[in-house]
Structure formats: C-alpha cells, structure tokens
C-alpha cells in the first residue's frame, strides 16, 4: 500500500512538471509570434454595408507595439 502511495506521488510530481514545461513552451511561443509581428493583434477592416472598404462607423485600431522579450525554456 505504501509503495502505491509513493508511485502515485511520483506520477503526480511528473505530471506537474510536464504541465509546467508545456505552459512555459506555450508562453514562449506566443511571445515569439507577437515579437515577429511587432504588434499586438489589431481589429480587421471589413467591407461595410455598401460593399466597399470605407468605414460606415469609424473603428479605432488598438494595436500597440510589443515591448517584452520572450524567455527561452531550458
């Protein structure tokens, strides 16, 4: 019984480590993509009711430069 408890604790520890690694990898990838674009995602310009690209209602572009650098995971 004690052996099973030890094994379960080791498995839980390993699962936590894997989750942490994937979380760091995901953050690193997102930061890398954002930096390559140079800006945060902006609102897309769409055709209006008239079928042209003039804005029926003016939409503000909220894109801002990304200043943070990605961190590499060892």
Q: Is the pLDDT of residue 24 over 50?
A: yes
* pTM, entire model: 0.43
CA 66 vs CA 22, 23, 33, 54, 63: distances in Å: 23, 20, 10, 28, 9
Taking 70 as the threshold, does the pLDDT of residue 58 lie above it? no
Residue 19's pLDDT band (cuts 50, 70, 90)? very high
29, HSE (Cβ side, Cα atoms, 13 Å): 6
The predicted model gives 40-51 an average pLDDT of: 54
């Amino acid at each position: 019984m004690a052996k099973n408890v030890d094994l379960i604790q080791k498995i839980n520890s390993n699962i936590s480590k894997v989750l942490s690694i994937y979380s760091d990898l995901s953050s690193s990838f997102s930061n890398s993509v954002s930096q390559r674009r140079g800006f945060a995602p902006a609102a897309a310009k769409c055709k209006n009711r008239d079928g042209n690209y003039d804005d029926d209602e003016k939409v503000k572009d909220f894109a801002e430069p990304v200043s943070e650098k990605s961190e590499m995971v060892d």
